[in-house]
Amino acid sequence: MGALKSFCFAALLALAGAALAADPAPRYNVVELQAEAQRELPNDTVTASLYVELNDANAAALATAVNKATNEALRVAREFGSVRVRSGNNQTYPVYAKGNVLQGWRGRAEIRIESKDFEAASRLIGKLQAGMQLGNMTFSVSPAARRQGENELIAEAIAAFKARAEIVRGALAGRSYKIQHLNVNTGYSAPPPRFAVARALAAGAPEAVAPELEGGVSMVTVTVGGAIEVFD
């Protein structure tokens, strides 16, 4: 019986020792910090949507007219090799008069273009505006350029974090510090879309005057947050 009690007591001591070993040592002078680095990157990509909207008393005739207009727009767009084009939303819905009487049908279809070649995109938009209306236009930084900018900013943001850590260490009269953990987050702020105002073309005009495209810039931000422990 005595041997059993001794065994149990030894087991309890071993468990307590393991728990103490697993418990991390207390940390003092732990400070949370945050730093960031920002950079303006030139927008190198333009995205635009153009649409056609028609009315007809006959739904089939309306669909034919809308499809014909969009098919022609897609054909013209494919002539511009540096511009990517795809179909957008296509809708047909009834139009009612007073008394909930069916008056006719309205159809709307759009195409969307994207390109890094602003000059080609401008010429294409001018051509398409002969039969379509420009809905909106957005400028952005391409994914590859954005990644490159973020990678460069990560080093700058971490350097800024370390500079702040040194300020904290000096303010606390510490001899050194150690980074406990670090988080890196990226942010991106693009300019708002530009909504175009439709303008009537002169009778017989083959295309509208091509718009001048200025991409502007977007802001890329890298934020580094974490904690340091300052040693006396």
Identify the CATH number of the domain in which residue 50 sits.
Answer: 3.30.70
155-188: per-residue pLDDT in tens?
999 999 999 999 999 999 999 999 999 999 999 9
**Domain-located, residue 226:** no
Nearest to 140 by CA among 116, 119, 112, 113: 116
**Domain-located, residue 124:** yes
Q: How many Cβ atoms from other residues are within 10 Å of residue 85's Cβ?
A: 20
Alpha helices (H) along the chain = 2-22, 59-77, 118-128, 143-171
57-78: per-residue pLDDT in tens?
999 999 999 999 999 999 999 9
Q: What is the pLDDT of residue 190?
A: 81
Tokens 């084009």 label which residue?
85
Residue type, 5: K
Q: Which domain holds residue 126?
A: 46-140+193-215
**Domain-located, residue 225:** no
Please, are residues 41 and 145 in contact by the beta-carbon 8 Å criterion?
yes
State the average pLDDT for the chain.
Answer: 85
Q: What is the pLDDT of residue 199?
A: 43
Q: What is the number of structural domains in the chain? A: 1
- Segment 178-204 shows an average pLDDT of 70
Q: pLDDT category, 194, cuts 50, 70, 90?
A: low
**Domain-located, residue 81:** yes
Please, are residues 55 and 62 in contact by the beta-carbon 8 Å criterion?
yes
Nearest to 228 by CA among 153, 170, 150: 170
**Domain-located, residue 52:** yes
**Domain-located, residue 18:** no
